[in-house]
Amino acid sequence: MHIHPIFLYGLKTEYNKNFSNTRGNKIITNPVYDTVTFLGNNTSAGNVLKRLKNITCPYTGVKMIPGSENKTIEKKIDKAKKISDVIKILISYTNYMQPVEREMFEVFKQYSSKNPNGKFQEVLHRIYSDALAKLKLEEFAVLDKVDAISKELSPQTALYLRSKTTKCREIILENRAEDTFKRKTFLTSLNEIRPANDNEQQILERMKDNALYLPTSGSSVNAFVVKYANRSEQEIAKRLLRASVATIEHVKPDSHGGANSLGNFMLVSAQANNRRANMPLEKYIERYPNIPKYCQVYINQIITSIYRGKLRGCESYPFKLKKTLTEESNGRIKLDLTHYRYTEEQANNIVKQYHLAQQNH
C-alpha cells in the first residue's frame, strides 16, 4: 500500500522550504496538499469502485465521498468569500465527516452563526493555547505508557529507550519552532532499538503499538487545532472533508505481496487508508474492533450496487473479497453472502460472459 506523499496525518508529507511547525507560531506556506493518489503499484482494476457513491468505509463506518465529487466541492470552497458561505457548502456533508472533523465543523458552524463574516483562523486562534496545552498532555500520556512498558526490558535497553522519550518530553515542553516534536520521528526512532532477545522484541512491539496512539490531526481535536491554526481558510475548510475521500485500499498490502486486483481492493476513506498503512489487518482490527461489522455493511452496499448495474463484470467481487478478508484477518472477518442472489459459480459465469461480450464489441 504505497501512498503518494499527501496532506493527511503527517505520515508522508512534503512542504516547501518555508515550512515551520505551527507550534512555533510561524505561518505555514505552500504546503503540498493534494488529493490521494498511489504510486509504485497499479490500482486501475479498482477504478470501477471509485465511481460508486454513498458507500460506507469498511474501516470507520462513515460514508465516503468520491474523489470527483470532492473536487467539485473544493472548487465551490475556493469561490466562497466568507465562513458562512463555506458552512453552507459543507453542512450537507456533515454525515460524511470523520469524528474529529465533524466536531471541528460544529465549532466552526457555531462561530459562523454569530460571526458570518469571520474566518476559520479566528476560531482556531481563540482556542489555540488551550489546545496546545491539552495536546502536550495527550502526548505525555502516551509516552508514559511507553515508559511503563520499558520497565520489562533489560536495564541497558530500557535506559536507551528512556533517553528517547526524555528527549521527546524536552522538545514538547520547550516548544521551539526549529526543533518541534514529530510523531513520525519518534516512531521511526523506536525501530532503531535493537532487542537483546525474542522476549525484548515482543516488548518492543507492544511499545510501538502504544506509540501509535500519539495524537494526530485525525485522531485529536487538539492536534487539529494546533496543526491548522495558521493554515489558509481554504485549506482548513477542505481538510474537513478530505479525510473522507474514497481511496483504493490493498486488503493485503502490496508490500507484503498483495495483488493489484479487484479481489484485493476495497474502497476505504483516505484517513483509514493512511492510518492503517501496512499494519496487518488482524492487528488493525484489534485497534478498531467494529471493522468486521463495517465490512459487512460495505459488502451489502456493494451487492446493492451490483443489482443496480453499477458494477457490471464484477459480480464475483463479493466472493473474492470475502476470501481475501477472511485470510488477512485470520478469520476475524467472515462476510455473510447468503442473501446474495448468485452462487459463486453463477457469478463467475456472468463475469466471463460480460468480458466475452466486451471483446466482441
In tens, the pLDDT along 157-207 reads: 999 999 999 999 998 998 776 556 788 888 888 888 888 899 999 999 999
pLDDT at res. 175: 74
pLDDT at 358 over 80: yes
Task: Indicate the domain borders of the chain.
Answer: 1-64+245-361, 130-220
**Site of grid cell 516547501:** 16
For 112-146, the pLDDT digits (tens) are 999 999 999 999 999 999 999 999 999 999 999 99
pLDDT at 60 over 90: yes
Contact between residue 97 and residue 244 where contact means Cβ atoms under 8 Å apart: yes
pLDDT at res. 42: 74
For 292-339, the pLDDT digits (tens) are 999 999 999 999 999 999 999 999 999 999 999 999 999 999 999 999
Q: What is the residue-averaged pLDDT of the chain?
A: 87
Helix (H) or strand (E) holding 246: strand 246-250
pLDDT at res. 180: 64
For residues 51 and 43, give the distance between their C-alpha atoms in angstroms, rounded to a whole number. Answer: 14
> Which has more confidence, 339 or 45?
339
For 251-300, the pLDDT digits (tens) are 999 888 999 999 999 999 999 999 998 899 999 999 999 999 999 999 99
Sign of the dihedral defined by the CA atoms of residues 273, 275, 281, 284, in that order: negative
Of the candidates 34, 1, 2, the one whose C-alpha atom is nearest the C-alpha of residue 15 is: 34
When pLDDT is averaged across residues 17-35 and rounded to a whole number, the result is: 34
Phi, psi of 328 (to 5 degrees): -70, -25
pLDDT at res. 41: 54
When pLDDT is averaged across residues 12-22 and rounded to a whole number, the result is: 33
pLDDT at 18 over 50: no
List of E strands, 162-282: 246-250, 265-269
pLDDT at res. 63: 97
Q: Take residue 185 and report the three cell numbers written for it.
A: 520521528
pLDDT at res. 192: 86
pLDDT at res. 184: 84
48 class by beta-carbon count within 10 Å (0-12 exposed, 13-18 middle, 19+ buried): middle
Share of the chain above pLDDT 70, in %: 87
pLDDT at res. 177: 63
pLDDT at res. 300: 98
For residues 248 and 323, give the distance between their C-alpha atoms in angstroms, rounded to a whole number. Answer: 18
Lowest mean pLDDT among 39-43, 103-107, 249-253: 39-43
pLDDT at 248 over 90: yes
pLDDT at 232 over 60: yes
For residues 102 and 96, give the distance between their C-alpha atoms in angstroms, rounded to a whole number. Answer: 8
Q: How many helices (H) and strands (E) does the chain have?
A: 15, 2
pLDDT at res. 164: 92
In the three-class reduction of DSSP (H, G, I as helix; E, B as strand; rest coil), residue 269 is classed as: strand
When pLDDT is averaged across residues 87-107 and rounded to a whole number, the result is: 97
